[in-house]
Amino acid sequence: MKTRSLLRLILGFGLVAVLAISIPLMSGCTSPTAAPEPTPTPTPGEPIKIGAPLPLTGWAAADGVGYYQGLTFAVDEINAEGGLLGRPIEIVLFDTKDFAPETLKLAADQMVGVDGVDMASGGWSGWGGDVTAFGKYDIPYFEYDGSESSLLTIAEPGNENVFQGSDNEYNSGVDSWNFMAELPYDYPNNKVALIGTDDAWGTGVVEGIRDLALENGWEVPIYEIVPYGTVEWGTVLSKVRREEPAWLHLEVVSPPDIIAFFNQFMEDPTPTLLNYGYSMSPPDFMLQMGAEADGILGWAGGYVGFPPPTQEVADWFTAFELKFGNPPSAGAPWMYNSFMMWAEAVRQVGDPADHDAVVNWLATNQFQSMPGMRTINFGERHVTPHAEFAGVYVQIQNGGQWNCLYHNVYGNPYVDYQGNSYEFQIPSWIE
């Protein structure tokens, strides 16, 4: 068993709350000179602590909100039913900011070594630094990095307690290309413009699209890699207006950046379909854009399996939107489902602190939180197979609603959780 208390010596961190939502901060601190105390035997009703290392500030904070919503939705549900094994769940937060490796290491050391969490769920937490940070401990750690470097790191000896719920960046780009290729739309030309951020995620996604585009005889006259915080798009848009590509993919997971792009694009729009990929998933995007976003295409995430629609999923969506005022973002269903799978593992094992047994249960069982939700099956590699992960692609329609066109990347017609089907609509700036 890996040690749980490597660093009960030094960490004392104040947590930073997300400005957009009120998040109670629950992390404790210890004195630099305090000697480690023995872990007491849990008593009935004593909270089970779980870690949420999420970006609460910085460029990824809006995305962190979506992950936090998914986790708290699950925790509130369990607590409302009397807790887990008769004990309430308590969330311990840590601000991972920009996913710097040293920050992720501090998060793991604080949460496991000081706060004593029995699991952690990091959502999108970078490109493998979180795997290394939490892999040295024995608690189950769930992440949604969508990162090839994370996949490779999980495969290294010693990281058997880590579980990834998504595929890599490149394959997400392949998915986006396949979705656009299947649209019932006559493209005016074979030009695609690609814009991604200067990190592994943004670059990997547009590389996947680029390679498929070139293989299929398309041109890529615009291929831009930009930093987060880009809100002046004049130079890029001048190229877009000169080339008039049939569609444009913008992979920048930051609402201020992509909203600024859209507003400046609409000053003199071209007949170009806009695909925002995962960029449109943070709740702030739809909350700020509303009906103005009608016509934009993108990815609404995985782990909600459609069709067929089920009443259970319909009720889940309704309750989620009533609680938070927005639909579940790309990462919210993953946070909900993976937490519920961990809770079931704890029930089966009978002790949240028996980490090895819980990890073994997670690695050797399949789980579905409710009919209509996607089954989680990690397998030997502790990674969700791509065919099971393939996400839901949508077009924003009818006053800012995520009206879904396909339930996966292979072009199958989409039926939403209420049984409604939708057709692709040509955006107003093209008509």
Do strands 247-251 and 219-226 pair parallel, antiparallel, or not at all (unpaired)? Answer: unpaired
Tokens of 423: 């057709």
Residues 6+ apart with CB under 8 A from 410: 178, 182, 390
One fold for 48-168+326-388 and 170-307+391-406: yes
Partners of 248 in beta bridges: 193, 274
Segment 167-196 shows an average pLDDT of: 92
Partners of 304 in beta bridges: 373
d(CA 180, CA 273): 10
User: Which of 176-180, 318-322, 355-359, 387-391 has the highest mean predicted lDDT (pLDDT)?
Assistant: 355-359
Q: Where are the alpha helices (DSSP H) in 109-168?
A: 129-135, 148-154
- Check if CATH label 3.40.50.2300 holds for domain 170-307+391-406: yes
pTM to 2 decimal places: 0.83
Tokens of 176: 């986006």
How is domain 48-168+326-388 classified at the CATH fold level?
Answer: Rossmann fold (3.40.50)
**H/E segment holding residue 217:** none
Partners of 393 in beta bridges: 299, 406
- Would you say 67 and 75 are in contact if contact means Cβ atoms under 8 Å apart? no
Residue with tokens 């413009």: 193
Confidence of residue 125 (pLDDT cuts 50, 70, 90): confident
- What are the sequence ranges of the domains in the chain? 48-168+326-388, 170-307+391-406
pLDDT digits (tens, 9 = 90+) for 242-261: 999 999 999 999 999 999 99
Return the pLDDT at 235.
97
**H/E segment holding residue 396:** strand 392-397
DSSP letter string, 260-273: HHHHHHTTS--S-E
Q: Report percent pLDDT > 70 for the chain.
A: 81
Query: Which amino acid does the sequence have at 223?
Result: Y
Is the backbone of residue 307 left (phi > 0), alpha (psi -120 to 50) or beta? beta
d(CA 73, CA 78): 9
Q: Report percent pLDDT > 90 for the chain.
A: 58
